[in-house]
Amino acid sequence: MGTLSTLRPPVRPSQPPQSATGFNQDTLQQRLQALIEGVKEIWTYAIFWQPSYDYSGSSLLGWGDGYYKGEEDKTKVKKSIVTSPAEQEHRRKVLRELYSLISGNPVTEESPVDEEVTDMEWFFLVSMTQSFVNDGGLPGQAYFNSTPVWLVGGENLVLSHCERARQGQEHGLETLVCVPSANGVLELGSTELIYQNNDFMDKVKMLLDFNNDFDFGSSSHSSSTIAHQGENVTGP
């Protein structure tokens, strides 16, 4: 469902001040898209979790933005949850309400949700409502410890003892990655097995450096830019 990539929930009521690292909310989704579309690895989605505060003033990581590409081959996705017609209708109802919340238009049966909502689309959708306190969940652990977390294989997702990882595995995830930065945490998920490599991590670091200026005029240009610049990153 391509429309998922454009959904943006309302801004949280209490945002911390933007850091001195040049963070730019306006280009965040474009950076996520450039990364997903511009690397050889087959990622299903990208989410950026941002530091924020709840109503009590406690710090947490909440949805900043996201980009959903979808499964490369939906016939390969392992289905451990069989969705009934009633569950599908529930998913469509929630998605219509989310459209209404974002657009400001009332919910109607004609709202643009007519396709089946897959397990991975649903997992991405409900992520918009989630948050992580302190070092909770994989995003919180990565941010709190300033260390990337890279899990490959359904068994490792389950053994991580993280509820989000377990839910992702149930909905078809095979790889879940969280990379911390000064501005938050990048989460990447895939229904494919993707193993960690230094070249990809260099590209992630480049995209998370908001002092880098990219021309995001077109997705094809963005993809070629990230691929070209990533290839020229040299290690120490």
Please write the tens of the pLDDT for every residue from 126-178.
Answer: 898 899 987 789 999 999 999 999 999 999 999 998 999 999 999 999 999 99
Confidence bin at 114 (pLDDT 50/70/90):
low
Cβ atoms of 169 and 24 within 8 Å: the answer is no
How many Cβ atoms are within 10 Å of 33's Cβ, its own excluded? Answer: 20
d(CA 179, CA 143): 8
pLDDT at residue 209, as a whole number:
80
Q: Which residues of 44-54 are buried (b: 16+ CB within 10 A; e: fewer)?
A: bbbbbbbbbee
Q: Which two tokens stand for residue 20?
A: 């001195």
Q: What is the pLDDT of residues 187-214, one digit of tens each?
A: 999 999 999 999 999 989 888 887 766 5
pTM confidence score = 0.74
Cβ atoms of 65 and 46 within 8 Å: the answer is no
d(CA 179, CA 201): 9
Q: What is the pLDDT of residues 2-42, one digit of tens each?
A: 445 555 554 443 444 444 345 667 788 888 999 999 899 99
Confidence bin at 104 (pLDDT 50/70/90):
low
Q: Which residues of 158-182 are buried (b: 16+ CB within 10 A; e: fewer)?
A: eebebebbbbbbbbbbbbbbbbbbe
Residue 82 one-letter amino acid: V
Confidence bin at 117 (pLDDT 50/70/90):
confident
- Segment 100-105 shows an average pLDDT of 54
